[in-house]
Structure 1
C-alpha cells in the first residue's frame, strides 16, 4: 500500500486532467452522435491518459531530476522525491508498454499524435535531448499535453483536428508550462538548470505567459469568437496575480481548478453540438 500511495503521488493526481482533459475535449468535438462519445478508442485513450500516461511522464521526470529535486521545496509535501526505488522504474516501463497498446486500438490517423506525445514526453526529461534544460525549447516541447486531445479527435472522427485548434492548444500548453516553472526559478538556478523562467526572470516570465496565452486566444478565436473569449481568462489571470501580489507558489496550485472550469465549458460546448447541433 505504501508503494501504491507513492506511485499515486508521483503521478500528480492534481494534474491528471492535464492529459485526460484534452482527450475529453477532443472526443466531444469529434463526435457526431452520442454513441461516438463511448467508442473503444475514446474510452481506451481516456483510461490511458488519466493515470498510466501520468506515471510515465512524471516518473521519467523524477528519475532524471533526482539531483535537481533534492533542493526543491515542492517535493517536501505536494510531490515525492525519487530515491532510486526500482519500483518506479518498473511502473514507468509498464506505463510505456500500455502506451504501445494504444496504437492497437486506434486508427492510423491518430498515430502521429501519439508518437509525438511519447517522444516529447520522454525526451522532455531524459537524455539525450532533455528539452527541459534548454530555454524556450522546454516551453515549446510542452505542446505534448495537447497531443492526447488531438489523437482522440483523430481516432473518433477519422480526420486530423483543425490546425488552429492545435496551434491554440500548443500555445496554451507553453504558457502553462512556463508559468509552472516560476516557483522553480531559485531551485533550478541553484542546481545549474537553465529554463525559460530562469533565463527571463520572474517578471518577464509573467509577460511571456500572458503573451502566449493571448496568442492562444487569438488562434481559438479564428475558429469561434466564443472560444477566443474563453481563453482570454488566462492572460487576465496573469494580470490579476501580478497586480494582487499573490505569491506565485500559491497561485500555481490554483491553475488545476481554472483549467478544469475552462475544460468543462469547452466540453459542454462540444456536447451541445452533438445533442442539439
Structure 2
C-alpha cells in the first residue's frame, strides 16, 4: 500500500522540523558571519539546510513509526495528536526514505571530515534510536542520550561545514542536557502505552513524578550553561521551561496539554537564539 504525499508530509511532523533544522541553523550562525563563506560552502549550507527539513524528518520519524507500531496502537497521543502508520505502508515508507536521502549522498563526500563524522552520528542515532538491534529508545538511559544526539548533532554539521573546528564543547553539553529534559518530558504522556507494549524508557523507569523532577533539573542546568554564552536569553527561556514543568508537577491532568505547547516555545527560543547570534556577528 502506497503513502500519499500528504501522508508523507504529516508523517515528518512539520511542527517538529525546527528541532533539527533549527539546531543546524544555530550551528551555522555560531560559527560566524553568514556572508563571508565561499560559493562552495554556501551551496553546501543550502543543500544541508534542505536536507534537515523534509528528508531528515521523514527519516527519523519514519523509522520511529515503523518500529513503534506495536506501541503506537496503545497510545492515545499517537491516535489523537499524530497518527499510527499501518504495517501495509511500511515497505512503501522505506522506499520513500531512500528516494529522499539518496540525492544527498554526493554532497556527503564534499564536506570535510568533521562534518562527515557529525552527519554519520546523526544518521546512526536517527536510525538506531528506534530500529533493531539497538533500539535505544527502549534501553534507558540510551533513549535520552540517542534522542539528544539526534537533535544536537545537526548543529555540529552546520558548524563544521563552514570550516570552523574551534567548537565550544560546553555549549554542546548544555544543548544535550536541554534535550535530555525535552525527550523525557515528551515521553511522560507515553508511559501507560509504553508499559502496555513492554517498552522501557527513562520515563517509565523513573515514573511520572520523578521524570518531571529530572526534566526540571535538566532545564535548570542547561539554562545555567546557556547563561555563560548568551546571558539573559538563556535564563528567560529557562524560566519558561521550568514553569511548564512546575505546572505539570502540580497539575498532572493537564500535562499533555502543556506538552502541545512545546513546539511553539522551542521554535521561539531557537529563533531568538538564531537572531541574537546573527546580529552579534553583523555588528
Q: TM-score, normalised by structure 2?
A: 0.90
- Deviation (angstroms), 1:244: 5.0
2:29 and 2:8 map into 1 onto residues whose CA distance is 30
> How many correspondences in the alignment?
276
Task: Measure, in 2, the Cα distance between the counterparts of 1:192 and 1:39.
Answer: 46
TM-superposed deviation, 1:33: 4.6
Which residue of structure 1 lines up, in the alignment, with residue 16 of structure 2? 15
Structure 2 equivalent of residue 118 of structure 1: 123
- Residue of structure 2 equivalent to 1:137: 142
User: Which residue, 255, 266, 274 being the options, matches 1:259?
Assistant: 266
Cα distance in 1 for partners of 2:166, 2:236 equals: 23
Distance in structure 2 (CA, Å) of the matches to 1:78 and 1:160: 41
Runs of at least 5 residues in structure 1 that lack an aligned partner in the other structure = none
- For residues 166-210 of structure 1, the C-alpha deviation after alignment (integer angstroms, 9 at most, x for no partner) is 101111111111110011010001111111111111111110111
Between 48-57 and 153-162, report the one with greater CA deviation.
153-162
Within 2, Cα distance between the matches of 1:261 and 1:228?
12
Query: Which segment drifts farther, 76-85 or 22-31?
Result: 76-85
C-alpha separation between the residues in 1 aligned to 2:4 and 2:119? 29
1:66 aligns with 2:72: no
* Structure 2 CA distance for aligned equivalents of residues 3 and 196 of structure 1: 35
**Cross-structure match for 1:239:** 246
Unaligned runs of at least 5 residues, structure 2: none
CA contact (8 A) 2:223 2:235 kept: yes
**Per-residue CA distance 1:48-105 (angstroms, 9 max, x = gap):** 0111000000111111111111111223233222222122111122334245344134
* Corresponding position of 2:83: 80
Deviation at 1:235, TM superposition (A): 2.2
Aligned counterparts of 2:126 and 2:6: Cα–Cα separation in 1: 23
Other-structure match for 2:179: 173
2:54 aligned residue: 51
Asked whether the 8 Å contact 2:244–2:258 carries over to 1, the reply is no
Query: Contact 1:23/1:46 (CA < 8 Å) preserved in 2?
Result: yes
SS at match of 1:127: coil
User: How far apart in 2 are the matches of 1:105 and 1:258?
Assistant: 35
Distance 2:67 2:257 in 1: 26
> In the alignment, which residue of structure 1 is the partner of 2:224?
218
* TM-score, normalised relative to structure 1: 0.92
Report whether the alignment pairs 1:34 with 2:35.
yes
Task: Give how far 1:36 is off.
Answer: 4.1
Q: Deviations over 1:216-255 (max 9, x none)?
A: 1222233343354245232233123333556111111100
| 1:4 alignment counterpart | 5
